[in-house]
Amino acid sequence: MAVAMVSCGMPTSLKLIEKQPISTPGFFNGSLALNPVQKLHITPKRLAFSGSTIIPKASVTAVEDGSSQETAAVPTPKVVIDLDSDPEATIVEVTFGDRLGALLDTMNALKNLGLNVVKANVCLDSSGKHNTFAITKASTGRKVNDPELLEAIRLTIINNMMEYHPESSSRLAMGEAFGVFQPYQKIDVDIATHIHVYDDGPERSLLCVETADRPGLIVDLVKTITDINIDVESGEFDTEGLLAKAKFHVNYKGKALIKPLQQVLANSLRYFLRRPTTEDASF
């Protein structure tokens, strides 16, 4: 499918990423499509971070002694996956200062995941070059809602960023395991984790989570939420350097979460995201 590339030299607002209420119910499409009033079940399964997803790279020259100044000048990589802005497609935005090119390699990698990039826009403003893609599943022509495929999209983009811009690994949590340069700092999960639940009308609530990023986080967050019988309608997942920021529209039996259930949800996520003290394999 041909991809329309649009460039702009002045700051402009992208029509694709304006926040609009999602018009299609349910967080999942295809075989997992559910109405908001239905109970959501996810089969526990871990992503295999290999193949087209994350591939360790090592063919890069060594860091020079003055790398501390260079690291400070490296912009913060950002990958935004937005399920709210467009009812027909999943919107992905990638920003890495002004260092990103046309990202044709990234679009080809997404195609290998069984996806179509139906539209692509590039906009340059004071914060850098914003590359925005509208993505659909090649098999159905519909937006991507499956959390495992969303995580594969995220990791594929990050992997490509680290391959073509190795310096980005010093700003990404995934750089510790898969990048050439180690992250410039460590984040304490307990300090970095913030969870809030807000009322968002009579039929749903807004869950906001900020925590240290790591592979598989989208899948694990959705599973933790649905394990306590709370339904996920839609949301947005942002990777900002070492941090992950998620916003999910959630409901319980088609209604907004009451205060006690909001507390249960926040406590469950906080318990799940806490810094582990013992390896599971030791039991």
Q: Mind listing the pLDDT tens digit for each residue in 166-189?
A: 999 999 999 988 888 999 888 888
Q: What is the mean pLDDT of the chain?
A: 78
| Per-residue confidence (pLDDT) for residue 22, from 0 to 100 | 39
| pLDDT tens string 110-144 | 999 999 999 989 888 887 789 999 999 999 999 99
**79: phi then psi, degrees, rounded to nearest 5:** -130, 120
- The yes or no reply on domain 189-273 and CATH 3.90.400.10 is no
> Are the C-beta atoms of 206 and 190 separated by less than 8 Å?
no
Distance between CA atoms of residues 87 and 85, nearest Å: 7
* CATH annotation of 78-178: 3.30.70.260
Split at pLDDT 50, 70, 90, the class of 12 is very low
The pTM of this model reads 0.73
Q: Where in the chain is the domain with CATH 3.30.70.260?
A: 78-178, 189-273
**56: phi then psi, degrees, rounded to nearest 5:** -60, 135
> Are the C-beta atoms of 128 and 75 separated by less than 8 Å?
yes
**Does 282 or 106 have the greater pLDDT score?**
106
| pLDDT tens string 46-101 | 333 333 344 343 333 333 344 444 455 899 999 999 999 999 999 999 999 988 87
Split at pLDDT 50, 70, 90, the class of 209 is very high
Residue that has been written with the tokens 């999943």 in this structure: 90
